[in-house]
Chains A and B, each alone.
Chain A
Amino acid sequence: MSEDLSFWLSYFTNGKHLTWYASFQFTIFAALFGGTLAVIFGLIGATLKNSRLFPLRLIGTIYSSIVRGVPDVLFFLFFPLAFEQAVEWFIASQVCAPELIAAQSAAWPPCKEANWFLGTPEYLILASVSLGLVYGAFATNVIHGALRSVPKGQLEAARAYGMSASQLLWRVHIRQMWVYALPGLSNVWMLIIKATSLLSLLQIADIVLWADRLGAPNFLPAVGLVHEDWRWRYYLVLFIFYIIVTLLSERAFEAIMRRAGRGILSEARG
């Protein structure tokens, strides 16, 4: 019994498992940073959509409808690759001499000096930005709707107090908007959490990749077969992990909504 216990204890604390536990930081970072960016892009998009200038309004509308019209995975993969290429193209235009370009046989980059090596931190930031861009389009819609739900009387009252347009926007309109936006933003947050499972597609050694490696049949010459294919058990752990995260976020959003809705008519909470 105690031997069993010590076996499991050492099994779950071996180096690979510790790396797995550590890799949860990537998922958490991507979710938090991506979520923050999504709100920021959502605010920008909603402002553009509300703009008085037609071209800006067009940009906002195109952004929110095109990004939502294609699968999130597609954009999630496309943005980091395209961004990397754009940077490499810019470097190439600075450093690559014509003879270096002629010497390069591969299709990309134009010359070896222009190659931009991306490690995990860079990819993680790019992945978060692309999560923010994708779900910012969803947030744009939510915030745009919420801005329109703020009662007209409050804005008129603010104007009557002599507030300027920017004061009105920042002190009244955006502050009052949150109550109406929260239910929608909670949905966007759930989508972001689920999308963080895709990090391994960008060569980040995240929880999914490690679950796959740890679960694969494990054979050591000294010990023999340690375990056979245990992948589904590791994926089950992740499955439950994500359900728990969803459950906790749901609770947290309920609490935030209750707090944000203090003193406001119950229609806002519906």
Chain B
Amino acid sequence: MERLFQEIALFGPAVAFNIYFAAASIPIGFVFAVFLALGKASPNPLISRLSRGYIYAFRGSPLFIQFFMLYSLALSFNVTVWKPMGLSWFILHPLFIGPLVLTLNTAAYTAEIFYGALRAVPRGAVEAARAYGMSRSQQFRRVIWPNLIRLAWPAYTNEVVFLFHATAIVYFALPVIGQQKDLMITAKELFERDYNAFLHFSVAALWFLAVSLVVFFLFGLVYRRLMRHMPAAPGLRFAPKWLR
């Protein structure tokens, strides 16, 4: 039992890296996703096609390949571009390129969620806003966006948990620098030392589960706040869906 607690404490610094990767990519991915969703719904065929293609490409290919591809792309520009600018220590650092790829990836998934919610915004509400003489930006800020985010929030919560789970493969694709190890690398190294698969992997799983539960709790609070005008606010349940 004491061994278990020691082990849990041992993973403490490692979980910070997973949380960093998720926390660094979620806000930027969120903003990017809003633009992508609006782009996909845009009447302009060029913008619509581009957003559609981007979303399809990043949802249709494995994150693992995206990591390798963008990292090797960054490497191939190293000698000609980053090195002369003195930026290679920054651009090629896993702590930069990891969140970058995760952002591109989560933006595509989130955009698909937002696009679905955008199409589910009640037509009548938008028509009423237009009848009031609101400008397009007013319509978006006061009517479409509040509706959209309420509709999308449960699915978005799911996506955030999935993104947190996806941070597990960052260091399988990118180089580990010094002691900067996330949960999976820590578990794998401890396993290679004493071959105790059950202890190390279970503790890593516990950490993932614990952080997922915290995410669900926090996002549930936000959801309650978003839905505070409803007579009985529906709660979020811990139920990772098959839909991603």
Identify the A interface with B (CB < 8 A): 65-66, 68-75, 77-78, 81-82, 85, 107-108, 138-139, 141-142, 184, 187-188, 190-191, 193-198, 201, 208, 211-212, 215, 228-229, 231-232, 235-236, 238-239, 242-243, 246-247
Contacts and interface: CB of A to CB of B under 8 A. Distances in A.
Given A69-B208, A208-B68, A243-B60, 19 more contacts: A69-B209, A77-B184, A81-B191, A81-B197, A82-B201, A85-B195, A190-B60, A201-B172, A208-B64, A208-B65, A211-B68, A229-B76, A231-B68, A232-B72, A232-B76, A235-B69, A238-B65, A239-B69, A243-B57
B94 to A, nearest CB: 16
Contacts of B188: 77
Contacts of A69: 208-209, 212, 238, 240
A231 B72 contact: yes
A235 B195 CA distance: 33
B204 interface: yes
A82 B197 contact: yes
Given A70-B209, A188-B242, A246-B60, A229 B75 contact: yes
B240 A68 contact: yes
B60 A195 contact: no
Given A74-B208, A142-B242, A188-B242, A232 B201 contact: no
A46 B187 CA distance: 31
A80 to B, nearest CB: 10
Given A107-B195, A197-B62, A73 B242 contact: no
Interface size class of B (residues with CB under 8 A): 35 or more
B208 to A, nearest CB: 5
Interface of B: 56-57, 59-66, 68-69, 72-73, 75-76, 165-166, 168-169, 172, 184, 187-188, 191, 193-195, 197-198, 201, 204-205, 208-209, 212, 238-244
Nearest to B206: A70
B contact patch SS: helix
A106 to B, nearest CB: 8
A contact patch SS: helix
Given A74-B168, A74-B201, A239 B194 contact: no
A73 B76 CA distance: 28
29 contacts: A65-B239, A69-B208, A69-B238, A69-B240, A70-B205, A70-B209, A71-B165, A73-B172, A74-B201, A77-B184, A78-B201, A81-B191, A81-B201, A107-B195, A193-B62, A194-B63, A195-B62, A197-B64, A197-B65, A208-B68, A229-B72, A229-B76, A231-B68, A231-B76, A232-B75, A236-B69, A239-B66, A243-B57, A243-B61
